[in-house]
Amino acid sequence: MSLAGHQSPPVFKQGPTPLVRLLVLVSVCLAMLVADLRFRYLEVVRQGLSVATWPLQMAAAAPVDFVRNAAVYFATLVEVQQDNAELRRSQLDAAQRLLRFEQLERDNAQLRELLQMAPAPGVRSVAAEVLYDAPDPFSRKVILDRGSQHGVAAGMAVVNAQGMIGQVTRAYPVQAEVTLLTDKDQAVPVQVARNGLRGVLFGAGQGRMELRFTLSGVDVLPGDRLETSGLDGIFLAGLPVAEVVSVDHESQTFAVVLCDPVAAVERTTQVLVLGRAEAPPPRPQPDSAPLRRTERKG
Amino acid sequence: MQPTHRSSRILQPAKNWFVFLSLFVALGLAYIPTGRLPGVPDWVPLVLAFWCIREPRRVGMGTAFVFGVLVDIGQGAAMGQHALAYVVLAYLATSIARRVLWFPPLQQALHILPMFFLTQLIMVLVRLVAGAEFPGWAYFLSSFTSAALWIPLHFLLLLPQYRPADRDDNRPI
């Protein structure tokens, strides 16, 4: 409204002022950040829009693929021969282990039957290749060339020949995002292979990991191997994860246990995505609500 | 179509399709998986700032928001992280648009550099608050490479507007 009481002519109308628009958009962004980081509400939006951006992403990844393939193409004959010899040797080694493994598995199934235990969970596996590091510099993630169409699901463990390297955190239709073990937010329930002591392993930055919440004075020694405990109902039990490097009991209540991953976590290309063949049994409710429901039914 | 200090040349109006094509090309460049290479320029804020300064009536905070969300999705970052930073960048760029154009490209780049730095700082702060690890000081190198690219980009993105209004066979460009 101008001073004389006339409406300002439409030429000058440009909607809300820039500052108002800035504040509105900034609050929308902040709401999105909270919804995504804190509550994970926006995964559906992300999945939907990622289908739209996928062609552009593929086009952008093409030159990088080309350079990488060219490097492979120009690998020398000597390198290939060395690789080949190495692979033959490891195959022989694996073959004799496999023979024993089949027999042990049969034994195991028989013994479980005798003891009337539930059969061990089956394994579902997908072979995949690491396409590239995720561009987000704040986290340690890689992108795989297999997605939900090939049977990859969020939560599955990712291993290479030496041991575990990470976990699938987002499964897109034809790609999957893997959070590496060294990421700060990645947690793996593990146990010490030597004595079965359980703990949770977190990424600690600089390629290291830390076994947190271990009381000081417990029996963990440098050189101990850590493997997945399978107690989370997501990972398979017994995948090698890390080796203890140093233990510091002298701090406060908790010991500081630093570990190195067993596998070359950040330099792997060929991986296997492992999951349980069937869904884990449902978690028990913390209160007695389901009990009452069954009572009412009966 | 605004006068610049160096050149009093009258430019053609910018075409809408060219503006958005350049933004999508920048988005494609941002999607190139360069891994953890430090100092890779941020293409989207670069082109976005350019058009916010050149065409503040057409490209502004709304465009910045949309492209920010697209970058977030492509890079697997937190939703809203790039959008927030780009919206602030677009606000600053549009607000200094009238002044910056009186300077030659090199000094324009010096105006742009602190804005790129602020863009990255916002993203770092957002992720640090969310509990991510600090990516190292090399992360901020890309502000400088982006600002250095301002001068060639300035020439490249204005090329279509340098064309004469009517074809003249005797004129070189």
**Predicted local distance difference test score (pLDDT) of residue A298:** 38
Please state whether A233 falls in left (phi above 0), alpha (psi between -120 and 50) or beta.
left
What number does CATH give the domain A122-276?
Answer: 2.40.10.340
**Predicted local distance difference test score (pLDDT) of residue A96:** 87
CB contact under 8 A, A133 and B65: no
| Per-residue pLDDT reduced to its tens digit, B96-143 | 998 998 888 899 999 999 999 999 999 999 999 988 888 888 899 999
CA dihedral A103, A104, A105, A107 (to 10 degrees): 90
For residue B37, give the DSSP letter. Answer: -
Banded pLDDT at B21 (limits 50, 70, 90): very high
**Predicted local distance difference test score (pLDDT) of residue A139:** 85
Q: What is the pLDDT along chain A (298 residues), one digit of tens a residue?
A: 445 566 667 777 777 888 999 999 999 999 999 998 888 888 888 888 888 888 888 888 888 888 878 877 777 788 888 989 999 998 998 888 888 888 998 898 888 888 887 777 678 888 998 888 888 888 888 989 888 888 898 889 999 888 899 999 988 888 899 999 888 888 899 999 888 888 899 988 778 898 888 887 788 889 999 999 888 778 888 889 999 998 887 777 888 889 999 888 888 788 999 888 776 667 777 665 555 444 444 3
Give me the mean pLDDT over the B13-35 stretch.
Answer: 90
Banded pLDDT at B7 (limits 50, 70, 90): low
**Predicted local distance difference test score (pLDDT) of residue A109:** 86
The shortest CB-CB distance from B75 to any of A59, A131, A134 is to A134
Number of residues assigned to chain B:
173
Banded pLDDT at B4 (limits 50, 70, 90): low
Is the CB of residue A182 less than 8 Å from the CB of residue A209? Answer: yes
**Own/partner long-range contacts of B18-22 (Cβ < 8 Å, ≥24 apart):** B18/B160, B19/B51, B19/B55, B19/B58, B19/B59, B22/B47, B22/B51, B22/B157
**Predicted local distance difference test score (pLDDT) of residue A6:** 66
Report the distance separating Cα A161 and Cα A164, nearest Å. Answer: 8
Residues of B in CB contact (< 8 Å) with A are 24, 27-36, 60-62, 64-65, 68-70, 73-81, 83-84, 87-88, 91, 94-95, 124, 126-127, 130-133, 135, 139
Is the CB of residue B53 less than 8 Å from the CB of residue B100? Answer: yes
Q: Which residue type does A78 have?
A: V
Residues of A in CB contact (< 8 Å) with B are 18, 21-22, 25-26, 28-33, 35-37, 42, 45-46, 49-50, 53, 56-57, 59-61, 63-64, 131-139, 141, 143, 170, 177, 184-185, 205
Give how far Cα A100 sits from Cα of A86, A103, A105, A162, B17, Å: 22, 5, 9, 19, 66
**Predicted local distance difference test score (pLDDT) of residue A264:** 85
Number of residues assigned to chain A:
298
Banded pLDDT at B94 (limits 50, 70, 90): very high
**Predicted local distance difference test score (pLDDT) of residue B67:** 95
**Predicted local distance difference test score (pLDDT) of residue A287:** 62
User: Would you state the structure tokens that stand for residue A295, as one six-digit string?
Assistant: 């009572």
The domain limits of chain B are: 16-162
| Per-residue pLDDT reduced to its tens digit, B33-90 | 887 788 889 999 999 999 999 999 889 999 999 999 999 998 888 899 999 999 999 9
pTM for the whole structure: 0.80
Q: Which residue type does A12 have?
A: F
